[in-house]
Every structure is written in structure tokens, then in C-alpha cells.
Amino acid sequence: MNLTSIPALQDNYIWMLNDTAGRCLIVDPGEAAPVLRTLSQNQWQPVAILLTHHHHDHVGGVAEILARYPDISVYGPQETQDKGATKIVGEGEKIIILGLEFDIYATPGHTLGHISYFSSPYLFCGDTLFSGGCGRLFEGTPKQMFESFQKLNSLPADTLVCCAHEYTLSNLTFAHAIYPQHKEIERYLHKIKELRSKNHITLPTKLELERKINVFLMAQDIELKKQIGLETTMQHEWQVFAALRAKKDHF
């Protein structure tokens, strides 16, 4: 499979996977024009759209793509039923597209019905897990998002995290500010600054790397607890996670 990222809107990425026959799937098309342009330039034939949640910057292009390609299936959680989804999927289900078997994970937090799709090594996780960061909590609770993170963190180390926004520099800047002595975070921040100075994409990222530089995957870290002013005992890990998310909201 060939993985393609398409910049869209202000800082979104629309992901596409295509096979050697030119068939492809589209993930979270927030706008149609760049998708239709990519399909035309490569002479690809879309067979499916995958939606992670209902926000407009993830579903805004669905109707226009369907107007051009009316026979393709649109998979999504219940909350996307009125956004163009034709096949509603949820936790524990499996779907097969382009010969790939995708596991569906409920990953609430950003929205209550948010889902993620995993077919090794590809993880399409929308606005849940970002490189170096965590999606904003618009509908769910910190505990829900923490549990969603734990679910995704159980995937293999070589998982390619295909999240939906170019937030890596902002996330790493925050991480370094609250955990300045963490050498891996500092090192990776320098790398990301260099990439973004050249307007290069920082995604996909590997889960193996995220375990080293993403503070939202470090809720058990005693030094991190000290850095954010929490006692090293007593707190549940989700409460540490919640404190981190609150600090990021006001960073």
C-alpha cells in the first residue's frame, strides 16, 4: 500500500491509501477539492471513505466527493450518520477494504462517538492521539480520553500514527516547557523545528517514538508528576493525564 497525506484547510491532513491497481480509500476528507485533484492526477479510483468523527473539518468534503463517485462506501461512527456515512461502525467491528482488515476502536474524548481505524501498520486516529500531544476535549471527559490513549498505546510499536492535524511543533513546545530536562523531548523538538522551518510534514509518526516524547503517554512518570506539581503518589494515572490536558488548554 502507498500512503499519501493531503494538506487541507488550515492545518488538516486528509490521508489516502492506494494499491497497485490504483484503488484507494480516503480518511476524513474535510474538503473535497484537494482530494478530487489528487484522484485525477493519479487516476485513482476511490472505493471507500473512513470518518473518525463528525466535525466539519473531517467531513466537509464528503458530499462533493460522493457527487463525483456515488458508489463508494462511507464508514463512520453513529455521530456521522447525518454527515454522509452510509455504513455505521463501532467498537470491536472489523471491515475489509482494499484487502486490508481494519479493526474499529471506540476512542471517545474529542467527541463522544469518535472512532479510530487500525490495519497494521496504519492507525487513522483523527483527533485523538497527535504526535507529541492529545486532542482537545470538546465532548468527552479526561478519563475517557485517557482510556482511549491506553487502548491505542496497546498497539504494536511500529504502528504508523496517521493523525489529522499538523500540531507537532505546538505539542512539543508545550512538552518541553513542562518537562525541560527530558532529553528525548528536547532532541525531538529541535528536529521538528527544523522540519517545520522548511514547511515539511511531521507525520505519520511511529507509536514507538510517541512513547518516548508524548507526555500524554507518560502519566505514570514520577518525574513528570513532580514537574506539573502533583504528588508522586495517590493520583490515578488518568488524573495526571487530566492535569496535563488542562495545562495544555491554557498554554
Per-residue pLDDT tens for 225-235?
988 888 766 67
Query: At a CB cut-off of 8 Å and minimum separation 6, what does 9 contact?
Result: 30, 31, 57
Cell numbers representing residue 181 in the block = 530536562
Gap between the Cα atoms of 240 and 53, Å rounded: 26
| Whole-number pLDDT of residue 230 | 85
pLDDT tens by residue, 15-56? 999 999 999 999 999 999 999 999 999 999 999 999 999 999
Residues of the chain with pLDDT under 50: none
d(CA 235, CA 12): 35
Q: To which H or E segment does residue 223 belong?
A: helix 222-227
Single-letter amino acid code for the residue at 127: D
Distance of CA 88 to the CA centre of its chain: 19
Q: What is the pLDDT of residue 234?
A: 60
The whole-number pLDDT of residue 233 equals: 64
- What is the distance between the alpha carbons of residues 171 and 17, in angstroms, rounded to a whole number? 26
The closest of 19, 16, 61 to 38, measured between CA atoms, is 16
102 SS3 class: strand
Tell me what pLDDT residue 232 has.
67
Give residue 106's pLDDT: 98
